[in-house]
Amino acid sequence: MEVVLAKNYGFCFGVKRAIKIAEEHKNANTLGPLIHNSKEIERLKQDYNVGVIEDVQSVKKDQPVIIRTHGIQKHKMTFLKESKANVIDATCPFVTKPQQIVEEMSKKGYDIVIFGDKEHPEVKGVKSYSVSDPIVVLNVEELKTHHLKDKIALVSQTTRKVDNFLSIATYLITHFSEVRVFNTICNATFENQDAARNLSKEVDSMIVVGGKNSSNTRQLLKICLDNCENSHLVEDVDDLNPSWFVNKKKCGITAGASTPDWIIQRIVEKISEF
Amino acid sequence: MEVVLAKNYGFCFGVKRAIKIAEEHKNANTLGPLIHNSKEIERLKQDYNVGVIEDVQSVKKDQPVIIRTHGIQKHKMTFLKESKANVIDATCPFVTKPQQIVEEMSKKGYDIVIFGDKEHPEVKGVKSYSVSDPIVVLNVEELKTHHLKDKIALVSQTTRKVDNFLSIATYLITHFSEVRVFNTICNATFENQDAARNLSKEVDSMIVVGGKNSSNTRQLLKICLDNCENSHLVEDVDDLNPSWFVNKKKCGITAGASTPDWIIQRIVEKISEF
């Protein structure tokens, strides 16, 4: 059985970096789970004694605490530093960037518009860096309900689609005299989707590795099923059904954004045996 | 005969302002013709002795020289000031704005993109205010041929259409991480067109006053003919044909961007007599 990995799959740059940072800081704690994958969280605990704490208040002086890729709100970061905790910042650089932009632009007097979900931790963090009161919207209709000054700075949650970002930029450009557009979208999710789409056209079986409750993994399965009927979602090797590979020659593999490489590797090895 | 003027017609704000400035400076000269209307140029000469000179080299010390709405290139302005000419600046404020933006943004290290016609005097003037070498384009295809840095400031020639401006903004936003979009489009031309469109639906005759060779006047006629078959272009009262108004009750009037009010007034009075 030939097994081919998608050109892009699994962890994005920021998550890979955060896990490496965690591995380099044995006995530290992450503030909230580092990624949405319990097996990876368990592995970090077992192999590196990296645990999870839920709130900044419980952090003690000199205690090492890892900030996850989404970043945290500025006042929480200030609290940690004032508590003299040992802050290990694994905020994704693609998230640090909109935080810095929002801080700088708000200080310069620009009205801040954030395209994103106001309940998402990343957006809460980015928003908190403004010295004024930013507007967080998911579409133009929401934007219309707000009063804005004539100088606006626009950023995006990293995982949003560029088409929707452009709709908001277009509305602002046609209604206000100066709009500073910072394209802070990260294409990792869409690169994984594009790679899965391309690969699923070339194979006779396709395996998507990831959590069954993960929306991004299910989106990958949907894309694969459009091109290859014999596509299946698995969480680990136990979910593999040998009947899927009978009389098949070439199996494609992709993985959700929270799937660690070691699980993917295990799947690749198992399928190669069929 | 009822005569109704379009809600917006004729001179824009900048041209009205420039003519007022010329009238207030008897015996001055304009650098190039103030507007594309020979009758208005003649009137300014006869009533105010305001003439036309063609180049900055012929301007002498203390001689009053009026800068027209399009503005001039920065080095010409510098030359006039160094020659101690009496510079009377009638540059439209909507043109001064992109000049200032281009100067400031280029000094801050932004690559400058100007959406417009590089042969147009306004664009030549705006471009000259950059300390770097701005890119002047009319569409995305032209833009793609240029190499740009990652920080870009975008302005527009005042008379361009917003849809095309947005195409260029969209390309830049999706390809570069920071784009400062300055919407410097002036809606005067489009407001005249919208007003002509609306009025021509309500009348049984429509008169467009303006130069027969003026593209903007002919565009107004085309819009009126779409809604009112009995639409006609006239340069002055002599062109009016009484047969157009037989059994008609309501005549709409609009005028090209270079048509002075006193010609329009003469037309209104004549038609009212029918």
pLDDT, tens digit, for every residue of A59-90?
Answer: 999 999 999 999 999 999 999 999 999 999 99
d(CA A126, CA A47): 32
d(CA B208, CA B221): 6
Which of A181, A182, A187, A190 to mutate to test binding with chain B, by most B CBs within 10 Å of its CB? Answer: A181
d(CA B179, CA B169): 8
How many CA within 13 A on the CB side of residue B154?
31
CA dihedral (A42, A43, A49, A52) positive or negative: negative
Separation in Å, CA B252 to CA A84, B206, B240: 77, 5, 14
Q: CA of A246 to nearest chain B CA: how many angstroms apart? A: 44
Query: Which pLDDT tens digits describe chain B residue by residue (274 residues)?
Result: 899 999 999 999 999 999 999 999 999 999 999 988 888 999 999 999 999 999 999 899 999 999 999 999 999 999 999 999 999 999 999 999 999 999 999 999 999 999 999 999 999 999 999 999 999 999 999 999 999 988 999 999 998 889 999 999 999 999 999 999 999 999 888 899 999 999 999 999 999 999 887 878 988 999 999 999 999 999 999 999 999 999 999 999 999 988 999 999 999 999 998 8
- The answer to whether A29 and A50 have CB atoms below 8 angstroms apart is yes
Q: Which of A172, A152, A179, A154 is nearest to B182 (CA)?
A: A179
Q: Which residue of B has its CA nearest to A178?
A: B182
Other beta carbons within 10 angstroms of residue B194's beta carbon come to 15
Tally C-beta pairs within 8 A across A and B: 50
Q: What pLDDT shows up at residue B82?
A: 94
Query: Looking at B54, B122, B141, B235, which residue is catalytic?
Result: B122
Q: What pLDDT shows up at residue A214?
A: 80
Complex ipTM more than 0.95, yes or no: no
Give the orientation angle of helix A188-200 with respect to helix A215-227, to 10 degrees.
30
What is the DSSP annotation of A15-31? HHHHHHHHHTSTT-EEE
Structure tokens at A139: 């579409």
Burial bucket for residue B205 (CB in 10 Å: 0-12, 13-18, 19+): buried
- Over chain A (274 residues), what is each successive 10-residue block's mean pLDDT? 94 94 97 89 96 92 95 96 96 96 97 96 96 96 93 95 94 95 91 95 96 86 96 96 95 94 95 90
d(CA A200, CA A231): 8
d(CA B216, CA B10): 10
Q: CA of B170 to nearest chain A CA: how many angstroms apart? A: 7
Q: Are strands A205-209 and B205-209 parallel, antiparallel or unpaired?
A: unpaired
Q: Are strands B151-156 and B178-182 parallel, antiparallel or unpaired?
A: parallel
CB contact under 8 A, B181 and A179: yes
Query: pTM for this structure?
Result: 0.83
Considering CB atoms only, which of A162, A173, A184 is closest to B181?
A173
d(CA B3, CA A266): 85
Question: What 3-state DSSP class applies to B55?
Answer: coil
Structure tokens at B222: 């085309």
Q: What pLDDT shows up at residue A161?
A: 87
d(CA B76, CA B79): 5
